[in-house]
Amino acid sequence: MDKMINLKINGRQIRAHSGQTILEAAKTAGIDIPSLCHHPAITPHGACRICLVEIERQRALQPACTFPVSEGMKVETESPKVVEERKFVLQVLFSERNHYCMFCEMSGDCELQALAYRYGMDHWTYQNSYPKIPVDGTRKYFIMDHNRCILCRRCIRACSELAANNTLGVKFRGAKTMISADMDSPFGESTCVACGTCLQVCPTGALIDRKSAYTGRETQVERTKSVCMFCSVGCGTEIITRSGRVLRVEGEWEEHNKGVLCVAGRFEPVYDNRERIRTPLLRKNGELVPASWDEALDIVSDKLKSTKGNKIGAWTTSKTLNLTMSEFVAVFQGKIGAHVGVLEPTLSELELPVGGSLSELVSSDCILVVGADPLSDHRVLGYHIKRARMKGAQVILVSENCNEMGRFAHKKFAPEDLVRAIKICQNSASPFVVYGDGTTQKDAEKLVVLKRKAQFIPVFPATNGYHAKVLGLQYGLNNHQIEMIYFLMEDAAPKDEWIKRAQNVKFLVVHTSYHGPITETADVVLPSLLWYEQEGSLYNLEGKKVAVRKAAPLPEGLIPENEVLTQLAARL
């Protein structure tokens, strides 16, 4: 299968693998063939005609991105004929729609413009006919300006191959062709899930991110490789900042999510408008007033020393870093002897394997989803299940409630019939079990039989549930007689049960980033960092330790959570 092929590109002898395209072979050999519609993450299309090359004995120029290599082939990538053709294609692309660089958001980073500069285009040969082309602003987070679209179809391919959503397509033909969603619905009213993968791959300024438009060119911004903290999938991200301000989030192409993010990781965090806590606060005369760290930590440590260990409850969210969680356990359980727990389920009672790989999930032939609703809250995992399904995998859903995966499941079983679902998996070649916090102990005992055969993917309800499970943290705000509570909440929005528990306690310390119902009754409020200020590591869906990196400097007076805990411990 992996036969080596010898061919000549621009007079150079190249060796390529059989099955590769000319573009791929050239790239490996360090020869750059320009293209517009090509993108390494999606299947080649041959739409833009920029990569046309001259091949000996071929009647016409051929697109390098789709043409397979063959033995003895001779290819010219910058011959006069090829260059003339490329310039012609560029002129035609510019003449079709309204490509005016001077007021375009993408100018400076646009792939179409870069090609025009490269080939010295200094005017248009063909008169622009000023067609009236619409701009679609119906999506909440980004805009589609059809004027700038070159119909490369990267967005369509990304929507179907990467996000597996299949919302985008084209309508009409020829010069009237337009990218459209579903049956020509406005994008914001379509089945678009706002994952933003199309936005990330668009080569021109056709897809424009609202928040970060006109805020800086690639040469003016900084990119920080980090990990999304909004669910336990732990997608690799790149946080784009300028002068300490977060502009937007992009998916990282090398990590397990391979560039794909979801609305909760790409857009929602940048739009967070909640009121941020900037200094420690102490309750004096019924009001929360700013205080220094020393003051606040002195009061907390005094209270901790004066209360019996078993009358103190310390709970942390799983949406935090490894070091913070470990430090939390060391201080509150180790040093103080308090009741320590975690605020979200950790799947710790389920003795099931972990470590299934996302990329292998896509090649699975049978996926059993039990006790989880990935498309609602772990969307990128859900997209990967849908991708597997598009490739022929059978999706079996075991659920009693309304489940987003229901529409895509081949078979649905009630929880009582789990055994029948397991049987189907046993008869498959490479099954996967995706299990969430809706899985009971009994279910787990039944699923164990698939241990040898299937890969297991745990769907922790919150980000670093993996580490919480490793540390043995228990979920549940127990009903012990507690006089003092320490909640480490980071930027998680408080759930009703936490607020209720907090209301009845004598002394409440809340360590969080935003004001909210839970800080209203707190005695001490300690500010925590935001997702783009965190520096440390956590575990992603596959059980791999990944690095969360600080993308912006810490605001004045804020301290990382684990340091706060260390300082607190030093006072005890």
Partner 1 sequence: MFKIRNLKIFLFGSFEHLDFGFVSDFDIRISDFLNNLFGSGNNGIGGKPMTKVKVAMDWLAACAGCEMSVLDMDEKLVELLDRIELTSTPITDLKHPPKEGVTVGIVSGTVNNTTNLEVVKEMRERCKILIAMGDCAVFGGIMTMRNFFDMNEALKRAYIETESTVEGILPSSEELCKPIKACPVNNVVKVDVYLPGCPPSPEAIHYVLSELLEGRIPVLSGENLKYD
Residue 496 as a binder of partner 1 (CB under 8 A): the answer is no
- Work out how close the CB of 134 gets to partner 1 at its nearest, in angstroms, rounded to a whole number: 10
CB of 99 vs partner 1, minimal distance in Å: 8
Residue 408 interacts with partner 1 (CB under 8 A): yes or no: no
- Single out the residue of 3, 13, 30, 103 in contact with partner 1 (rule: CB under 8 A): 103
- Work out which of 1, 60, 102, 402 binds partner 1, going by CB under 8 A: 102
Q: Which stretch binds partner 1 (CB under 8 A): 119-127, 196-204, 349-357, 534-542?
A: 119-127
Instruction: Examine residue 84 and tell whether it contacts partner 1 (CB under 8 A).
Output: yes
Among 127-135, 406-414, 433-441, 545-553, which window interacts with partner 1 (CB under 8 A)?
127-135
> Rule CB under 8 A: is residue 220 a binding residue for partner 1?
no
The pairing of strands 4-9 and 62-63 is: unpaired
Helix ranges restricted to H, 75-110: 80-96
16: its two tokens: 């390529």
Of 10, 20, 66, 91, the one binding partner 1 (CB under 8 A) is 91
Give the nearer residue to partner 1 in terms of CB position, either 52 or 551: 52
**Helix%, strand%, coil% for the chain, nearest 5:** 30, 25, 45
- Residue of 3, 57, 130, 183 that binds partner 1 (CB under 8 A): 130
- Residue from 10, 62, 66, 98 binding partner 1 (CB under 8 A): 98
* 116 is an interface residue for partner 1 by CB under 8 A: yes
Does residue 117 interact with partner 1 by CB under 8 A? yes
CA distances from 360 to 341, 387, 431, 432 (A): 34, 11, 10, 9
Report which of 471, 481, 427 is spatially closest to residue 449, judged by C-alpha positions: 427
State in angstroms the smallest separation of the CB of 116 from partner 1: 7
Q: Which is nearer to partner 1, 30 or 120 (CB)?
A: 120
- DSSP classification of residue 358: H
Can you tell me the distance from the alpha carbon of 354 to that of 460, in angstroms, rounded to the nearest whole number? Answer: 11
What 3-state DSSP class applies to 136?
strand
Least separation in angstroms between CB 200 and partner 1: 22
Whole-number Å distance between alpha carbons of 80 and 75: 13
Q: Which stretch binds partner 1 (CB under 8 A): 94-102, 348-356, 360-368, 380-388?
A: 94-102
Q: Does 108 sit near partner 1 (CB under 8 A)?
A: yes
Check residue 122 for interaction with partner 1 (CB under 8 A): yes
Pairing of strands 507-512, 484-490: parallel
Between vectors from CA 405 to CA 233 and to CA 170, what angle results, nearest 5°? 95
The β-bridge partners of 508 are 485
List the one residue out of 460, 437, 448 whose CA is nearest residue 543. Answer: 460
Nearer to partner 1, 109 or 360 (CB): 109
Would you count residue 27 as binding partner 1 (CB under 8 A)?
A: no
d(CA 382, CA 386): 6
Q: Is residue 70 a contact partner of residue 83, using CB atoms and an 8 Å limit?
A: no
Sheet hosting strand 236-242, strand order edge to edge: 222-227, 236-242, 245-251
The residue ranges that bind partner 1 (CB under 8 A) are: 84, 87-88, 91, 98, 100-104, 107-108, 113, 116-117, 119-125, 127-128, 130, 132
